[in-house]
Structure 1
Amino acid sequence: MYFRCLIVLVLIASQIPVAFSQQSESPTDTTLLKSLKQYPRKNTLPVRRPVIFPETVRLPEPEMLELSINYWRNWTSFGVNVNQASFSENWGGGGVNSLALGGQYTFKTDYTKGDKNFVSDLILQYGKLKNKDQLSRKTADRIFWDNKVALKLSKSWYFFGSINFESQFDRGFSFSKNAQGNEIRTLLSRFMAPGYLTESVGFEYKPVKYFFVRIGTGTARQTFMIDTNLYKTNPKNFGVEPGENFRNELAFQIVGAIDKDIAVNLNLKSRYTMFANYEKLKSIDNRLDLTLTARVNKLINVSLAGIVLYDDDTANEIQASQALSLGLIYKFPR
C-alpha cells in the first residue's frame, strides 16, 4: 500500500511542469507577457500643471540706473601704398628706376537721434612718384571735408543743410622739355589755389543706408586763390578774375553717393556732383569719383580708382584720371 501511494505521488509531480509549460505557450498569455515587457504601464496618477500669474514689474527711471546712450558712430582708416622698381645698367629690356609712395586717411562720423542726423566725412590723400633723371610728380593730392545736418520729413526724405571744403596739399605742375632736352615744369595749382567752400540747403532722398541723393536748390560756392599771380602760368585761373583772390557763385546742385559691399570682400564707393551756375546754365560742372576696393585680408587691399571731370573753368575738355594700387590699410573699429 505504501509503495502504491509513492508511485501515485511521483506521477502527479511529473505532470505539474508539463501543465505549466502548456499554459505558458498559450498565445494569449505570451502576448500579454510581451506587452508587459515592452510597454510598461503608464502612471495613471493625475499630474497638476503649474498655474502662472504674470505680474507687471516697474523698472527704475534711466537716470536712476545711470544709463547713457551713445548716438555717435565713428569709422577711421589709414592706408599706405608703395611701388618700387630698379634695373641694372645692362638690363636688356630697358626700364627706369622709380619709387612711388602714397598715403590716405579717412574719417567718418555719424550722429543719429530721432529725426535728426549729422554726418561728417573727411578724406586726405597724397602720393608722390620719382623716376630716375626726372622731376618728381604727384600721383594723388586731395583735401575733402563734407558736413551735413538733416531733419527727417518722411520715411525717405530729409531737409538738409551742408558745408563742403575742398583743396590740395602741394603744388601741381605740368611737365615739358626745353630746347636743350631738359625737363621743365609749369605751376598750375597749389594749396588754396584753388580752394572751394560750398554751402547748400535743400532736400535729400535716402531710401537705404548706402545710397542718397541731395538736391541743393540753394547753393553757393566760393573759390579762393591765395596766389594772385597763378594766372600767369595758368590762364584759366579756375574761373577767378586775374589778380583777384575770390569768386562767389550761386547755383543749383545735385550730389549722389553710394557706398556698398557688392560682393564678399568687394566694396564699391562712388560720388557724383553736378554744379549748375545760375548765371551760365549752358556750362554745367560734372564730377564722378569711383573707387572699387577688394580686400585680400585684414591688412592688404587692392583698389582701382577713377575720376571723370568736366569744368570749363579748368579745361575746355573732359578730364580723367585712374589709379590702381596695392597697399596696407588699417580700419577701426574692425
Structure 2
Amino acid sequence: MKSFNICLLLLFISSSGLFAQEIDTVPINTKGLEIKLKRSPLPARTGALVFKPVQITPVVVSEKVNYWKTSTSIGIDVNQGAFSNNWKGGGVNSMAVGGLVNYKAAYSKDSYSYTTELRMEYGKIKNKDQLQKKTKDRIFWDNKANLQLSKSWFFFGSVTFETQFDNGFAYYRDKENNEQKQLISKFFSPGYITESIGFEYKPVSYFSTRLGTGTAKQTFINSMDDLIAAELARNPASKKGDYFGVPSNKKFRNELAFQVTSTFGEKQIFTNVFLYARYNMFIPYDRKLEHIDHRLDVTLKSRINKFMNVTLNGVGLFDKDSDKEVQASQNLSLGFGFTFPR
C-alpha cells in the first residue's frame, strides 16, 4: 500500500509539470491591452542635433610623369692560372682582367622617342715571359631619335661614335726569338662617326632593323705619321700609304652609303640565359659591292646567381680598308655583374 501511494504521488507530480509546461506555451493575445513599460532610471536628453561644416584643407600631391627609363650594367671578370716549375702537363702562368660598363637611357612620349646607349669594354692579359696584350678594347656610343609612323614603322635619325681606349699592337718574334710589338692603332686612330637617317622596322620591343637610306661615315686618324710608318713597315704592299682607308695627306675620310643595322636583345632565350646581337652592314655608294663592310657582335650571358654570370662574346668583322680577310675575336669569362636600378 505504501508503494502504491508513492507511485500515485510521482504520477501526480509529473502530470502537474506537463500541465504547467503546456500552460507556459499558450500564446496570449495582447491586442487592446495597456502595457506600461517601466521608466528607465537613466536621464535622457532630447533636442535638435546641430551639424557644423568643417573646412578640410586640400592636400596637393606634387607628382610628375617620368618619361625616362635608365639602366646601368657593370661587369668585372678575372682569369688567373698558375703552374709549378715541374708541372708535366705544360702551361704558363697568366693573369687576365676585364671590365664592361653599359649605360642605356630611353625617352618615350606620344609618338616621339629617343634612345642613347654607351658600351665601354676593356681587358688585358699577361702571360709569363710575354708582353701584355689586350683582350678587348672598345668605346661605342649610339644615339637615336624616332618618330612613329605606324604600329611597327618609325622615321629615325641617329649618330654613332666608335673608337678604342688604348694603343693596339701587332706582336711578332725577332731573330733572337724575343717577342716584339708594333703599333697599329691608337685612341681615335681610327675613330668613326656615323650619321644616318631613314626608316626603322620594330615589330617587337627586343628586335629592330634600321634602313639608313642617307648615311655618312667619317673615319678619323688622330696620329697619322707614326701609324702610317707602322703600317708601311707591317705591310710594304700598301702603295698609297693609306691607313684604314684614309689617305696619308689627310686626317679623315668621308663616305656616303646605305646602311642596315639590326639589333636583338637583351632577351632571355632560356632560363637565366640572355642573348644580345647587333649586325651592321655598310654599303658605300661610290664603291663596288666587294667593299661592303660587315660587323656582327654577339653576346651570350648566363646568370649563375644574382651577382655572378658567365659571358661569351664574339665579333666578326669584314672591312677591306682594315684587312682583306675576315677578322674575328672571341672571349669567354666568368665574372661579377651589377645592374642599376635592380
TM-score range, shorter chain: 0.7 to 0.9
Q: Which moved more, 1:243-252 or 1:196-205?
A: 243-252
Identical aligned pairs, as a percentage? Answer: 51
Q: Which amino acid counterpart does residue 293 of structure 1 have in structure 2?
A: K
Which region of structure 1 is more displaced relative to structure 2, 281-290 or 194-203? 281-290
Select 1:271's aligned residue among 266, 271, 278.
278
2:333 corresponds to: 325
1:95 to partner: Cα distance: 1.4
Partner of 1:153: 149
Q: Which residue of 2 aligns with 1:231?
A: 228
Q: Deviations over 1:57-111 (max 9, x none)?
A: xxx9xxx653210000001011111111111112222211111010110100000
2:305 to 270, 292, 297: 297
Q: Structure 2: which amino acid aligns with 1:83?
A: N
- 1:49 alignment partner in structure 2: none
In structure 2, what is the equivalent of residue 128 of structure 1?
124
SS at 1:180's partner residue?
Answer: coil
Q: Which residue, out of 263, 266, 289, partners 1:257? A: 263
1:111 aligns with 2:118: no
The Cα shift of 1:232 comes to 2.0
| Unmatched 5+ stretches in structure 2 | 15-57, 232-237
Of residues 36, 58, 63 in structure 2, which corresponds to 1:67?
Answer: 63
Of the candidates 300, 316, 322, which is equivalent to residue 314 of structure 1?
322
- C-alpha distance in 2, partners of 1:288/1:314? 16
Alignment partner, residue 189 of structure 1 = 185
1:169 to 141, 165, 169: 165
Q: Partner of 2:228: helix, strand, or coil?
A: helix
Q: For 1:288, which of 285, 296, 310 is the aligned residue?
A: 296
Per-residue Cα deviation, 1:246-269 (whole angstroms, up to 9, x for no partner): 100000000000101112211100
TM (normalized to structure 1)? Answer: 0.81
Query: How does the TM-score come out when normalised to structure 2?
Result: 0.79
Alignment coverage as a number of residue pairs: 289
Which AA in structure 2 matches 1:275? Answer: F
2:81 matched to which residue of 1?
85
8 Å contact from structure 1 (residues 144, 167) kept in 2: yes
- CA–CA distance in 2 between the matches of 1:226 and 1:198? 17
Query: Paired residue for 1:141?
Result: 137
For the residues of structure 1 that align with 2:86 and 2:61, how far apart are their CA atoms?
A: 77
Provide Cα deviations, 1:132-169, integer angstroms capped at 9, x if missing partner. 11111000000000000110111111100000000000
Aligned match of 1:244? 250
- Counterpart-to-counterpart distance in 2, 1:88 and 1:205: 57
Output one character per residue of 1:185-208: Cα deviation in whole Å (capped at 9) or x when no partner: 111111011000000000011111
Give the Cα separation in 2 of the matches to 1:292 and 1:149: 27
User: Structure 1, unaligned stretches of length 5 or more?
Assistant: 18-59
Any idea what the Cα deviations from partners look like across 1:285-308, whole Å, max 9, x if unmatched? 011100000011111010111011
Aligned to 1:22: none
What's the CA shift for 1:174? Answer: 1.0
- Structure 2 counterpart of 1:79, one-letter code: G
